């Protein structure tokens, strides 16, 4: 009798673990998984600025290298570079200063 209880417990545990695994696969398939967060850390030459999940299999990633940003589409079929050499906000402000325009801080509207 006691062996039967342990056997039932083992089967129930295996069933619950299998059910969790199936639900995790289904949730990931429909894009309900956790998106990859942009990492903010040390000042390096390369960083991930932003990640946007398009669907379960594709993500847009904005990667910053020095003063340029690059937009990359990551997917199951392959990775595609959408746009390269996008100037960063700091670089755009430097261009405005060089052109003699009054710089506008990022996130604020021009008061004129």
The verdict on 4 and 43 lying in the same domain is no
**Do 72 and 103 belong to one domain?**
yes
Tokens of 26: 């289904």
Residues 16 and 43 in one domain: no
Read off the pLDDT band of 1 (50, 70, 90). Answer: low
pLDDT at position 100 is 64
Looking at residue 18, its pLDDT comes to 97
Output the pTM of the full model: 0.46
Residue 82 has pLDDT above 70, yes or no: yes
Mean pLDDT estimate for the chain: 78
Torsions phi, psi of 50, nearest 5?
A: -155, 150
The shares of helix, strand and coil residues in the chain, as percent rounded to the nearest 5, are 35, 30, 40
Residue 48: per-residue pLDDT: 87
Please indicate, yes or no, whether residues 89 and 108 belong to a single structural domain of this protein.
yes
- 55 and 31 Cβ atoms separated by less than 8 Å: yes
Q: What is the mean pLDDT of residues 15-41?
A: 76
- Same domain membership, residue 109 and residue 87: yes
């Amino acid at each position: 009798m006691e062996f039967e209880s342990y056997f039932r417990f083992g089967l129930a545990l295996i069933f619950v673990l299998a059910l969790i695994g199936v639900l995790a696969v289904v949730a990931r398939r429909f894009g309900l998984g956790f998106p990859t967060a942009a990492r903010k850390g040390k000042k390096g030459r390369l960083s991930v600025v932003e990640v946007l999940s398009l669907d379960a299999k594709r993500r847009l990633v904005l990667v910053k290298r020095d003063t340029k940003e690059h937009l990359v589409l990551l997917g199951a079929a392959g990775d595609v570079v959408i746009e390269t050499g996008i100037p960063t906000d700091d670089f755009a402000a430097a261009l405005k200063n060089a052109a003699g325009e009054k710089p506008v801080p990022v996130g604020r509207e021009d008061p004129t």
